[in-house]
Amino acid sequence: MPEIGDKVLVCGLSQTMFNGLGTVAELFDSQKGRWPIQVGNKVVLVRDANLVFIPICLGPRKSYMLQTSLGEVSHDVAKEFMRQFERTKVFLEAYQHCEDLPLSDRKNLVAEILQTMPHFVQLVKDNTDQMSSLERVLFGYLNEVATWALPSPQLVEAIINYSDGGIAECGAGSGLLAALLQDSGCCVAPFDSGGRFYEMNFIRVTRICGSRFPFIEGFKTLLMCWPERDPSNESKIVAMLRNFHAAGGTTVLVSGTPPNDKGKCYGPQGTQAMWDCVGLLFTETARIQVPSFMKGLPDCLVVLKRDPFLDMLHQQAVHTLD
C-alpha cells in the first residue's frame, strides 16, 4: 500500500496542468475514492486509475529516468509495467529471506521468479521503441539486486541437463541463479572475485582473490553466466579456466552471446582470449537458446565438454616444449 511521501506519476487528467510527477500528500480518501496528490504547490484528488506509483528503491537518477520513460507510453502500458515491476520485486524480496521456509515453499518462489522475470523483460522489449531509457533502468535495477543472466525455466533446465556433477559458478554476484539451481536440486558452489556490493543476496557467495579456483571434489562443472568483457581481467579468467581444467573439470557452461561461426567474439560477454582459451581446452557440443536481456543479441547456454583427444594433444605439446 502506498504511503505518504511516495512518488507517483499522474497521467490522463483532463486538466493537463496536473499531469506529471507528484507526491502522496495524505492517505487514500475512501469516501471520495481518490488519492490526495501534491503536484507542484497544489493538492489534487486523483483516482487510482490515473496514478502510477514509482518505487523509491531505484534512487533519484533511475527514478527520474523511469518517470521520463513511463511518460512516453500509454497509461495502460505504464500501469502494466509497474504491476510487473512490483510483482518481480516482491518475489525477489521474499526469496531473499526464505532461509526458514520449507523447501516446498522455496520451490514455489523459484517457479514464480523463473516465470515472472522473463515476462517482465519481454514487456520492456515490446515497448523499447517508445521507452528509450526504460531498458537501461530495468537492466540496471536487475543487475544491482540480482544478476545479468536472465533466470528462466529454459536456462535452469539446460544447466541441470548438461551439468556434470557439482556446479561451481564463477561470477555468481548476488547468488540468485545459484540459489535457484540449489532449490531445483543442484549442488552449487558460487564464487566471485569482485568486491561489488549487492542490495540483495540470495545465497552465500565465496569471495576469492585472483584466479584461484575453489576446486571441490565432485564439482566437475564450471558455470559462467555473462562473464565480463574486461581485457584487464582476462588473464585471471584464462588462468582460472586452466586451473579448472588441471583440477579435473569436465564441463564448462557459458551463458551469453557466443562467438560467431568464425570464432570471433562479438557480444558483451567475455573477451576473445577467454573464448579462445575455453575452446582450446574443451570442445563445444551444444548451444541452447535461452531468453535474453539484450534486444538483438542471442543468449545461449554454450555447452563445452572435456575431450580426451584434445587432452592428449595438449600433453604432447607440453612435453614437446619441455
Answer yes or no: CATH 3.30.360.10 is held by domain 153-321: no
pLDDT of residue 168: 93
pLDDT of residue 17: 83
Q: How many CB atoms lie within 10 A of CB 29?
A: 11
The amino acid occupying position 17 is M
Q: How many CB atoms lie within 10 A of CB 300?
A: 19
pTM, two decimals, is: 0.81
**CATH of 1-54 given 2.30.30.140, 3.20.20.100, 3.40.50.2300, 3.40.50.300:** 2.30.30.140
Q: Say if CB 19 and CB 9 are below 8 A apart.
A: no
Sequence-separated (6 or more) residues with CB below 8 Å from residue 86: 53, 55
For residue 266, count CB atoms less than 10 angstroms from its CB and return exposed for 0-12, middle for 13-18, buried for 19 or more: exposed
Q: How many residues does the chain have?
A: 322
CA distance linking residue 273 with residue 147, whole number of Å:
23
pLDDT of residue 133: 67
What is residue 308's three-state secondary structure?
helix
36 to 1, 19, 45, 49: CA distances (angstroms): 14, 14, 5, 13
CA dihedral 98, 102, 108, 114 (to 10 degrees): 50
Residue ranges in the chain whose pLDDT is less than 50: none
Domain boundaries, the chain: 1-54, 65-145, 153-321
CA distance linking residue 15 with residue 96, whole number of Å:
43
